[in-house]
């Protein structure tokens, strides 16, 4: 299948325009039970308007699962406004994320009980992350490469943890408790840490080498963030769960979560895994 990058760029342009006219007004709750703002819904509507032109299934943070047309052959996983809390508090740092997974006919593509239910992270063929503030775009095509604003990118090859800068997400919603020892080592091991808000941008920065690693092990990331791990994996990063197993998860429900330890290379990843050992 030809790259859908022109479609993603069209969506991104319209999303920025919609966001500029939107607001933080609360209009309900999403599929995760979180507050939905008008901005969340407005961007999602922009995405849906474009995807309705295709026969596809969509898994989105706000609307959950839906299908456009019959006998769908592809699944789009959408996070319309990653770091909506930043938007709500006037912090200019938030992103749009889109992943596209192929639904294999052998698994019964065309129904949620078939292909859509069986789709997994490994089936993601394209990943697109768009900074809604700066306009930066990150795009990955499976087995073909990763680009930032049209230029090829790759991860950091820095191997010394005391010189590394990593992004750490210790967001605490009681999903999976993080020990005080792990928190202390996470702050002590690297040269410095970063926390921007949008997990998708933090993962994109690992993919392009701006950061050496990304750590989120409290199981607070929904599968709507699938484009982040897919982007890093295509860039050549080491991407695992908190047990060090290659990251893999299903794309069936918005309410499924994952842990992630990702680094630009195996040496930094090894040190990040040591952070988790109490």
Q: Are residues 231 and 113 in the same domain?
A: no
Looking at residue 171, what is its pLDDT?
67
Assess whether 65 and 173 both reside in one domain: no
DSSP codes of every residue in 89-113: TT-S--EEEEEEEE--GGGTTTSII
pLDDT tens for each residue of 20-33: 999 999 998 887 77
Question: Token digits for 191?
Answer: 């040269």
Phi, psi (degrees; rounded to nearest 5) at 125: -105, -20
Q: What is the pLDDT of residue 1?
A: 67
Please tell me whether residues 16 and 139 are part of one structural domain: yes
pTM: 0.93
User: Which of 5, 233, 238 is CA-nearest to residue 123?
Assistant: 233
Question: Is the domain of 188 the same as that of 252?
Answer: yes
Q: What is the pLDDT of residue 48?
A: 97
Among 135, 152, 169, give the residue marking a domain's end: 152
Same domain, 175 and 193: yes
Torsion of CA 252, 167, 273, 145, to 10 degrees: 60
Same domain, 142 and 176: no
Query: What value, to the nearest 5°, has the Cα angle with vertex 55 and ends 54 and 59?
Result: 95
As for how many domains the chain has, the answer is 2
Q: How far apart are CA 141 and CA 227, in angstroms?
A: 11
- Tell me, what CATH number does 43's domain have? 3.30.540.10
In this structure, the answer to whether residues 129 and 10 fall within a common structural domain is yes
- Distance between CA 113 and CA 143 in Å, rounded? 28
Q: What pLDDT shows up at residue 163? A: 97
Residues 6+ apart with CB under 8 A from 215: 166, 167, 168, 169, 186, 260, 261, 262, 272, 275
- Looking at residue 105, its pLDDT comes to 59
Could you say which residues of the chain have pLDDT below 70? 1, 105-117, 171-177, 278
Question: CA nearest 129: which of 257, 35, 251, 228?
Answer: 228
Pair 169, 225 in one domain: yes
Nearest to 155 by CA among 231, 229, 230, 208: 208
Task: Indicate the residue among 104, 134, 152 that finishes a domain.
Answer: 152
Which residue bears the tokens 């607001």? 23
Range of the domain at 167: 161-275
Tell me, yes or no, whether 31 and 110 share the same domain. Answer: yes
- Domain final residue, candidates 87, 119, 152: 152
Same domain, 141 and 190: no
Q: What digits encode the pLDDT tens for the residues 26-55?
A: 998 887 778 899 999 999 999 999 999 998
Note the pLDDT of residue 107: 41
Q: Report the relative pairing of strands 192-194 and 137-141 from DSSP bridges.
A: unpaired
**Do 98 and 131 belong together in one domain?**
yes
Three-state SS for 8? helix
Counting Cα atoms < 13 Å in the Cβ hemisphere of 245 gives 5
Q: 222: domain CATH number? A: 3.40.190.80
Verify that 74 and 133 share a domain, yes or no.
yes
Shortest CA distance to 255 belongs to which of 205, 209, 207, 219?
219
CB-CB contact of 103 with 57 (8 Å): yes
């Amino acid at each position: 299948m030809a790259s859908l990058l022109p479609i993603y760029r069209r969506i991104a342009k319209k999303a920025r325009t919609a966001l500029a006219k939107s607001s933080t007004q609360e209009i309900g709750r999403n599929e995760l039970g979180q507050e939905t703002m008008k901005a969340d819904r407005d961007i999602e509507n922009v995405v849906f308007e474009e995807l309705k032109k295709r026969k596809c299934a969509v898994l989105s943070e706000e609307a959950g699962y839906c299908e456009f047309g019959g006998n769908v052959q592809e699944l789009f996983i959408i996070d319309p406004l990653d770091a909506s809390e930043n938007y709500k508090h006037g912090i200019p740092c938030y992103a749009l994320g889109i992943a596209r997974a192929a639904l294999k006919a052998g698994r019964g593509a065309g129904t949620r009980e078939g292909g859509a239910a069986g789709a997994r992270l490994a089936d993601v063929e394209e990943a697109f992350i768009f900074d809604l503030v700066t306009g930066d775009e990150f795009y990955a095509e499976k087995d073909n490469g990763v680009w930032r604003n049209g230029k090829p990118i790759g991860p950091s090859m820095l191997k010394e943890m005391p010189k590394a800068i990593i992004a750490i997400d210790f967001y605490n919603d009681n999903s999976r408790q993080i020990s005080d020892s792990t928190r202390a080592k996470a702050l002590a091991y690297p040269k410095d840490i970063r926390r921007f808000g949008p997990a998708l941008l933090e993962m994109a920065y690992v993919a392009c080498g701006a950061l050496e690693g990304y750590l989120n092990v409290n199981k607070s990331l929904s599968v709507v963030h699938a484009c982040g791990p897919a982007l890093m994996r295509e860039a050549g990063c080491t991407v695992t769960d908190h047990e060090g197993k290659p990251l893999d998860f299903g794309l069936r429900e918005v309410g499924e979560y994952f842990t992630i330890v990702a680094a630009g290379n195996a040496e930094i990843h090894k040190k990040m895994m040591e952070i988790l050992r109490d």
